[in-house]
Structure formats: C-alpha cells, structure tokens
C-alpha cells in the first residue's frame, strides 16, 4: 500500500458525521497522521492541542479554512 499526501481534499466530508475524539462535539479539524490514520477534534480541543498536533501530523484540515495545512 502506497501512502499519498493530498492537498486538494474537500472539507465537505470532514465533519459529517464525525465528532471530536476528545469530547464528542461536532468535529471541525481533522489531523492526518503518518500512519494513515486520523484524529478529529472540535475547535476548542484543536486549539488546545495545536502545538502537539503539529508535531505529529502530516496534514491538518480545518473545516473553517479554505486550504488544508500541511504540518
């Protein structure tokens, strides 16, 4: 299996029906890890863990942003 990093992902499928992995609120941010798995967070928890997430993420997709952020 080949891992591919895409930067043109649609944010339409980011939050529906995903809920924050920390508290269960509606997800606003998806963090893609090098392993291919991902984490989703509400805005509050994404801001709280921002520095740590940037250290481990290969991509951070914010539903409120136009463009994905490559970490």
- Does the model's pTM come out above 0.95? no
Structure confidence at residue 8 (pLDDT): 46
Within a domain: 7: no
Ramachandran angles phi, psi of 52, nearest 5°: -70, -40
Structure confidence at residue 9 (pLDDT): 52
Within a domain: 51: yes
Structure confidence at residue 71 (pLDDT): 58
Structure confidence at residue 69 (pLDDT): 64
Within a domain: 27: yes
Within a domain: 31: yes
Within a domain: 41: yes
Within a domain: 71: no
Structure confidence at residue 64 (pLDDT): 82
Sign of CA dihedral 47, 70, 35, 37: positive
C-beta neighbour count of 27 within 10 angstroms: 22
**Number of domains forming the structure of the chain:** 1
Domain that holds residue 61: 17-65
C-beta of residue 18 within 8 angstroms of C-beta of residue 40: yes
Given a cut of 70, the residues of the chain with pLDDT beneath it are: 1-17, 66-71
Q: Report d(CA 28, CA 41) in Å as an integer.
A: 6
């Amino acid at each position: 299996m080949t891992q591919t990093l895409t930067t043109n992902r649609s944010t339409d499928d980011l939050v529906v029906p995903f809920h924050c992995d920390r508290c269960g609120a509606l997800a606003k941010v998806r963090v893609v890890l090098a392993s291919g798995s991902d984490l989703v967070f509400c805005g509050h928890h994404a801001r709280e863990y921002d520095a740590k997430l940037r250290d481990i993420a290969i991509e951070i997709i914010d539903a409120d942003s136009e463009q994905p952020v490559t970490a």
